[in-house]
Amino acid sequence: MLTFKNFNIADWFSFYRVVAAPFLVLLLWLDERHFFAWLLLISYLTDAIDGYLARKLKITSPRGSQLDSFGDQITLIVGLIGLLVFENEFIKKNILLIGVAFVPYIIQMGIAYYKYGKATAFHTYLAKSSAIIQSAFILYSVFFAPNYTLFYIMIAFGVLETVEEITLIFMYDTWASDVKGIYWAFRDKRRLKNTQKP
């Protein structure tokens, strides 16, 4: 169970992103693009810090992975809402392409909740790469203006990462965290233990 009492330092950085989300929404409502951009940047930086600390201090855990994933998801959603508010014309112009990436993501989340009762936290290399590109695109857009090269790369990585996540969901009978990718899943003892059960 997640309680403040058993949070470690990496968990607190992850939790910051959850706490920051309502303030980001408030800045959107106040139409404070400049402050929104800087606060969003801080949230993305904490995403890099918590993972580094967890690995460096060897305090990785399923609990921390789940909290990190939730913080990532809520930050991504707020960032996308920021684009909708500040770059509405861009969103309207590219709504079909955005849907190509977003609809599979919703499907993936639905499958995960149906199978595990919660979101995935595989943290694959592809997911990390996709998150970095998403962050770069959203931050560049709110600080300056949308960049189409980053946008297309973000869509491509988003679709690939979602397909990989769905594949991993079907590969793991029980919830698992910190899977590097499909290649590593084939040799993961956690998955092999489940498939070898009579």
The residue type of 141 is: S
d(CA 171, CA 81): 33
DSSP string, 9-29: HHHHHHHHHHHHHHHHHHHHH
Q: Where does the chain have alpha helices with state H?
A: 9-29, 33-56, 62-86, 88-93, 95-116, 125-143, 148-171, 182-185, 189-195
- Report residues of the chain scoring pLDDT below 70: 1-5, 52, 54, 59, 61-63, 192-198
Q: pTM to 2 decimals?
A: 0.82
Domain ranges of the chain: 7-86, 90-198
Q: Residue 197 has what pLDDT? A: 47
Strand partners, 177: 121
What would the pLDDT profile of 48-89 be if each residue is shown by its tens digit?
887 767 677 776 766 677 788 888 889 989 999 999 999 999
Give 49-55 contacts, CB < 8 A, sequence gap 24+.
Answer: 49/13, 50/10, 50/11, 50/13, 50/14, 51/10, 51/123, 53/9, 53/10, 53/13, 54/8, 54/10
Q: What is the dihedral of CA 108, 112, 115, 121, to 10 degrees?
A: 140
57 with 75: CB under 8 angstroms?
no
Tell me the two tokens of residue 156.
């491509």
DSSP SS3 for 81: helix
